[in-house]
């Protein structure tokens, strides 16, 4: 059985996968595992999916079950060596103590995660084991939709009635993690996915060592979703840190954009939200977001139960309102009608009026709060329209390098020359009408993004497969090997049929079967070319006299 290292589907003798377009003639460079490495005598390692300063995740194949899984390898950048083509990690004596401590933290973290099987938002962990002088975690693999793509498909934002049932399981999952003494600390749109059944799934797991400055690991923080304390060296992270990340991600879901970077918000804490967005969101949701995104930890919502309550106020208020309406609409008996107060109002009327006054007071308080809170960073333009404020200070520090348009080999060379940059290639190459095949078409973070002081840069890149539809090249009168090469250059596969020809020399291509030069067909498709056998020789028989 021959497997594609990009998607783990069977490909037979083909080098370019017809399913995902992955080129299986390429190599996976150190420090990552070579393609086809078998760990625990069971799991075949394929292409890397993502990486951070603590670990790397690969697509993998379980020989025992036949399932496609995800293998997460403990791979703390800077604390080991692995030569090209090797599988075992080499740890120097001076790094061994740090390596072992971090490895134990990593193992304990995933053991806790593996025990929380009842929580749908968490990834299912199948096994944890040691091999190659490190630790591996086998995760369940699912077909998932990136959250950012999901938001884009939803007109750029979600309505609260849609977002609420999506995010409530995330609150429960994070709450359960913190009860066990660990957190996620990287809740961000990049680490949220949607399952085929429409549920949220969290990814991006790592220990606290990876999610803050000042540890032995190169930290990976997500701009706009990471809390201020994560940018400070050796500050403690706790439940409020994950509340910040969750509220930032919910803010993104409801508005279509993340809050400003936490470091910037230390100078200007306003949360930019358009007037139209404020109008369509329930006031208690706006209030909860502002409370969960407070810069100061002590001012932030302190636990997930409190966050859940603040996000659910409307449901409690509606229940009270329904009860008042139900009571007011009941048929009253004569004895119930008689009691009056001195001002002529019945007890029921007093209740209704009191409730109305309460709602009015709360509404006025909400308006006053909106005028005073950080979301009031919305001003009138010259035409009287509401517009969002923007930062006017221009960044003059280091920025993310630009890999767009570069070949993968050139990116690898640039990565080797810059120790502060870690580049990994996503295994799912994508079609692009803008970028030529084989060059970088996407990167995250984007080129030009700010690099805060002492940031260790982890950049993911996506390679273009070129246009999805390819024009058939001219092959008439070419030699077979030349024609096959021209077709392969277009990302297409060729099969051959032979026939006699009076006009085309033997061994030369007559043309396409069922197609003509210039036809456009989908990348990875198979075409048939007809090769000449030359002129057919006439057969004669002798007639005996």
> What is the torsional sign of CA 318, 319, 324, 330?
positive
Could you read off the pLDDT of 205-257 as tens digits, one per residue?
A: 999 999 998 888 988 999 999 999 999 987 899 999 999 999 999 999 999 99
Q: What average pLDDT score do residues 471-488 get?
A: 89
301, two tokens: 């919502």
**What is each CA distance from 130 to 74, 107, 295, 498, in whole angstroms?**
10, 10, 40, 55
- What is residue 461's predicted lDDT score, i.e. its pLDDT? 85
DSSP H helical segments within 63-212, as ranges?
A: 93-115, 147-153, 160-179
Summary mean pLDDT of the chain: 83
pTM of the model: 0.64
Could you read off the pLDDT of 227-239 as tens digits, one per residue?
A: 999 999 878 999 9
Assess whether pLDDT exceeds 90 at residue 384.
no
Assess whether pLDDT exceeds 50 at residue 160.
yes
Measured between alpha carbons, how far is 288 from 306 in angstroms, rounded to an integer? 10
Please tell me which residue, 304 or 357, carries the higher pLDDT value: 304
Lowest mean pLDDT among 12-26, 96-110, 330-344: 330-344
Q: How confident is the model at residue 1 (pLDDT cuts 50, 70, 90)?
A: low
Q: How many CB atoms lie within 10 A of CB 405?
A: 13
Q: How many CB atoms lie within 10 A of CB 39?
A: 21
Q: Are 285 and 160 in contact (CB under 8 A)?
A: yes
Could you read off the pLDDT of 335-374 as tens digits, one per residue?
A: 444 444 444 555 544 544 455 445 445 544 554 444 444 4
- What is residue 446's predicted lDDT score, i.e. its pLDDT? 83
- What is residue 75's predicted lDDT score, i.e. its pLDDT? 96
Assess whether pLDDT exceeds 70 at residue 510.
yes
- What is residue 526's predicted lDDT score, i.e. its pLDDT? 84
User: What residues pair up with 457 in beta bridges, in sequence order?
Assistant: 421
Assess whether pLDDT exceeds 60 at residue 268.
yes
Assess whether pLDDT exceeds 90 at residue 162.
yes
Q: How many CB atoms lie within 10 A of CB 187?
A: 27
Measured between alpha carbons, how far is 486 from 491 in angstroms, rounded to an integer? 9
Residues with Cβ within 8 Å of residue 164, at least 6 apart in sequence: 311
Assess whether pLDDT exceeds 60 at residue 185.
yes
- What is residue 484's predicted lDDT score, i.e. its pLDDT? 84
Assess whether pLDDT exceeds 70 at residue 74.
yes
Q: What average pLDDT score do residues 396-420 get?
A: 80
Measured between alpha carbons, how far is 391 from 403 in angstroms, rounded to an integer? 27
Residue 324, helix vs strand vs coil: helix
- What is residue 227's predicted lDDT score, i.e. its pLDDT? 96
Measured between alpha carbons, how far is 273 from 250 in angstroms, rounded to an integer? 13
Could you read off the pLDDT of 42-65 as tens digits, one per residue?
A: 999 999 999 999 999 999 999 999
- What percentage of the chain reaches a pLDDT higher than 90? 56
Measured between alpha carbons, how far is 158 from 164 in angstroms, rounded to an integer? 10
- What is residue 489's predicted lDDT score, i.e. its pLDDT? 81
Assess whether pLDDT exceeds 70 at residue 545.
no
Q: What average pLDDT score do residues 189-205 get?
A: 94
Measured between alpha carbons, how far is 295 from 183 in angstroms, rounded to an integer? 19
Nearest alpha-carbon partner for 54 in 87, 79, 81? 79
Residues with Cβ within 8 Å of residue 339, at least 6 apart in sequence: 346, 347
- What is residue 360's predicted lDDT score, i.e. its pLDDT? 46
Nearest alpha-carbon partner for 374 in 259, 299, 270? 270
Measured between alpha carbons, how far is 442 from 402 in angstroms, rounded to an integer? 10
What's 38-92 look like in SS3?
A: EECCCEEEEEEEEECCCEEEEEEEECCCCCEEEEEEECCCCCCECCCCCCCCECC
- List, in sequence order, every beta strand (DSSP E) within 500-539: 509-513, 520-522, 526-532
Question: How far from chain centre, in Å, is Cα 228?
Answer: 22
């Amino acid at each position: 059985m021959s497997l594609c290292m990009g998607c783990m589907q069977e490909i037979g003798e083909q080098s370019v996968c017809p399913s995902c377009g992955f080129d299986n003639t390429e190599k996976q460079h150190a420090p990552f595992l070579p393609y086809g490495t078998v760990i625990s005598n069971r799991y075949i390692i394929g292409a890397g999916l993502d990486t951070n300063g603590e670990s790397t995740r690969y697509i993998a194949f379980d020989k025992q079950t036949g399932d496609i899984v995800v293998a997460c390898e403990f791979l703390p950048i800077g604390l080991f060596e692995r030569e090209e083509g090797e599988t075992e990690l080499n740890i120097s004596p001076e790094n061994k103590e740090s390596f072992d401590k971090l490895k134990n933290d990593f193992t304990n973290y995933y053991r806790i995660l593996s025990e929380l099987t009842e929580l749908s938002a968490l990834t299912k962990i199948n096994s944890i084991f040691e091999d190659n002088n490190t630790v591996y975690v086998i995760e369940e693999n699912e077909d998932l939709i990136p959250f950012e793509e999901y938001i884009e498909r939803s007109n750029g934002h979600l309505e609260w009635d849609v977002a609420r049932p999506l995010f409530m399981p995330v609150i429960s999952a994070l709450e359960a993690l913190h009860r066990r003494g660990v957190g996620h600390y990287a809740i961000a749109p990049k680490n949220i996915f949607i399952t085929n059944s429409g549920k949220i799934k969290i990814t991006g797991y790592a220990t606290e060592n990876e999610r803050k400055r000042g540890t032995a690991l190169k930290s990976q923080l997500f701009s706009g979703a990471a809390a201020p304390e994560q940018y400070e060296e050796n500050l403690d992270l706790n439940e409020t840190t994950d509340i910040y990340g969750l509220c930032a991600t919910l803010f993104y879901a409801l508005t279509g954009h993340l809050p400003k970077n936490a470091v910037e918000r230390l100078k200007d804490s306003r949360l930019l939200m358009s007037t139209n967005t404020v109008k369509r969101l329930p006031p208690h949701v706006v209030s909860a977001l502002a409370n969960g995104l407070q810069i100061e930890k002590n001012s932030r919502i302190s636990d997930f139960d409190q966050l859940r309550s603040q996000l659910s106020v409307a449901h409690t208020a509606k229940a009270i309102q329904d009860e008042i309406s139900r009571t007011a609409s009941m048929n009253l008996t004569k004895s119930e009608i008689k009691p009056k107060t001195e001002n002529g109002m019945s007890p029921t009327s007093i209740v209704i009026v009191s409730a109305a006054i309460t709602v009015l007071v709360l509404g006025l308080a909400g308006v006053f709060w909106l005028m005073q809170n950080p979301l009031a960073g919305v001003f009138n333009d010259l035409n009287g329209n509401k517009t969002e404020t923007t930062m006017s200070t221009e960044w003059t520090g280091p920025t993310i390098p630009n890999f767009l348009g570069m070949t993968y080999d050139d990116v690898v060379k640039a990565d080797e020359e810059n120790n502060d940059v870690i580049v990994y290639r996503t295994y799912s190459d994508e079609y692009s009408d803008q970028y030529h095949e084989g060059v970088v078409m996407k990167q995250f973070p984007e080129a030009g993004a700010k690099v805060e002081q002492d940031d260790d840069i982890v950049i993911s890149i996506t390679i273009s497969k070129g246009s999805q539809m390819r024009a058939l090249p001219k092959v008439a009168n070419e030699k077979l090997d030349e024609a096959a090469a021209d077709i392969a250059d277009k990302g297409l596969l060729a099969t051959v049929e032979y026939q006699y020809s009076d006009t085309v020399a033997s061994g030369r291509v007559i043309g396409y079967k069922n197609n003509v030069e210039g036809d456009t067909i989908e990348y990875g498709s198979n075409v048939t070319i007809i090769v000449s056998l030359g002129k057919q020789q006439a057969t004669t028989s002798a007639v005996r006299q």
